[in-house]
């Protein structure tokens, strides 16, 4: 996690410096260690300075920097009153990233996201002005930005902006319903290389915010349908739940550290059923198919947990 800003350089807990860049990640430095099978604790001998040390990888990625700015601004709100020092540090990082990261056509949606969260956190006029300036872009790209713009739109209290956003969202709802009707699963289902489970969870996660901000435009059905898809209501003869250990039948052979044991990590969420072109759905019980049974933490498990809690909340509110 980012800790503070010093002379334009982002400092992280642990003492590493990225000279204004974010870390892509910390990972083992060689293929042999990466493909290790068995207990994860065997990856290192816990002695610093030898060949099994992990490396920190940085990158020049404006989209990631602006998305991180949005996340840090949101984190600052949550931390306030719980850890005020970290809240201030997170907000400082968000402000700095917003100011120094170069904007382009490829990064504008991410900058809108950062401006939205910074405005919600600070109420500063500069972020409101940025969103008002980008009204046309927001309306034209509502499928990408609509899920996070709702709370800011209401707080801004600008009739012209609100009208543009709501008109765009109504059109987006029409397109969603068209895609959702293409299959019996009640969600847009257009998989690419690997299983679509993670994308569908992400879709359901975003739709929760659309529904809660604009319940007159978006119902809760896509949240439930996305969760149902992950839990087994999906194409193919193998209708196992993608969440290992959840459901009467679930993916209990996973591409994790214990894949050589044909075993699984309870709660791991796999990418799921792949579509072999042109129309053959496949979810094999085979631990080395990363494109079908790989576990991930970011998105795969976190979006699943969010969907479960979101469905629970929405149903309890009825």
Burial-class residue 220 by CB neighbours within 10 Å (0-12, 13-18, 19+): buried
pLDDT tens digits for the chain (318 residues)?
A: 333 333 333 333 333 344 556 888 888 888 888 888 888 788 888 898 888 898 888 888 999 999 999 999 999 999 999 999 999 999 999 999 999 998 999 999 999 999 999 999 999 999 999 999 999 999 999 999 999 999 999 999 999 999 999 999 999 999 999 999 999 999 998 887 788 899 999 999 999 999 999 999 999 999 999 999 999 999 999 999 999 999 999 999 999 888 999 998 888 999 999 988 888 999 999 999 999 999 887 888 999 999 999 999 999 987
Q: How distant, in Å, are the alpha carbons of 30, 126, 213, 288 from that of 144?
A: 36, 22, 15, 33
The mean predicted confidence, pLDDT, of the chain is 90
3-class secondary structure, 49: coil
Calpha distance 265→190 (Å, rounded): 28
SS3 category, 16: coil
Separation of CA 144 from chain center: 13
Going from the C-alpha of 252 to that of each of 136, 206, 240, 242, 248, the distances in angstroms are 47, 28, 9, 9, 11
Q: Say which residues have a Cβ less than 8 Å from residue 278's Cβ, sequence separation at least 6.
A: none
- Using the structure block, give the residue that is written with the tokens 């979810």: 283
60 by Cβ neighbours in 10 Å (0-12 / 13-18 / 19+) ranks as exposed
pLDDT digits (tens, 9 = 90+) for 11-43: 333 333 445 568 888 888 888 888 888 887 888
Nearest 5°: the CA angle 221, 131, 162 is 55
Percent of the chain with pLDDT over 90: 71
Task: Enter the DSSP assignment of 260.
Answer: G
Q: Select from 199, 202, 189 the least CA-distant residue to 235.
A: 189
């Amino acid at each position: 996690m980012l800790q503070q800003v010093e002379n334009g350089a982002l400092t992280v807990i642990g003492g590493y410096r990225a000279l204004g860049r974010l870390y892509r990640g910390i990972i083992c430095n060689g293929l042999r260690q990466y493909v290790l099978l068995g207990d994860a604790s065997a990856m290192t001998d816990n002695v610093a300075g030898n060949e099994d040390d992990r490396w920190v990888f940085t990158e020049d990625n404006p989209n990631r920097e602006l998305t991180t700015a949005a996340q840090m601004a949101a984190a600052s709100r949550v931390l306030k009153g719980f850890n005020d020092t970290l809240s201030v540090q997170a907000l400082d990082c968000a402000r700095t990233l917003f100011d120094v990261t170069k904007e382009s056509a490829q990064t504008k949606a991410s900058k809108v996201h950062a401006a939205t969260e910074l405005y919600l956190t600070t109420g500063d006029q500069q972020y409101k002005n940025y969103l008002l300036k980008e009204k046309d872009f927001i309306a034209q790209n509502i499928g990408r930005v609509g899920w996070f713009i709702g709370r800011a739109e209401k707080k801004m209290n600008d009739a012209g902006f609100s009208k543009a956003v709501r008109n765009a969202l109504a059109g987006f709802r029409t397109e969603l319903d068209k895609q959702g009707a293409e299959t019996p699963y009640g969600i847009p289902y257009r998989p690419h290389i690997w299983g679509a489970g993670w994308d569908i969870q992400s879709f359901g996660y975003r739709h929760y915010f659309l529904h809660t901000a604009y319940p007159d435009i978006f119902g809760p059905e896509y949240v439930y349908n996305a969760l149902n898809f992950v839990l087994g209501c999906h194409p193919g003869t193998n209708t196992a739940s993608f969440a290992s250990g959840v459901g009467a039948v679930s993916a209990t052979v996973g591409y994790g550290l214990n894949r050589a044991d044909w075993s699984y990590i309870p709660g791991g969420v796999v990418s799921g059923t792949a579509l072999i072109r042109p129309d053959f759905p496949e979810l094999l019980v085979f631990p080395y198919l990363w494109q079908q049974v790989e576990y991930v933490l970011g998105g795969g498990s976190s979006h699943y947990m969010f969907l479960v809690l979101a469905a629970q909340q929405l149903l309890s509110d009825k």
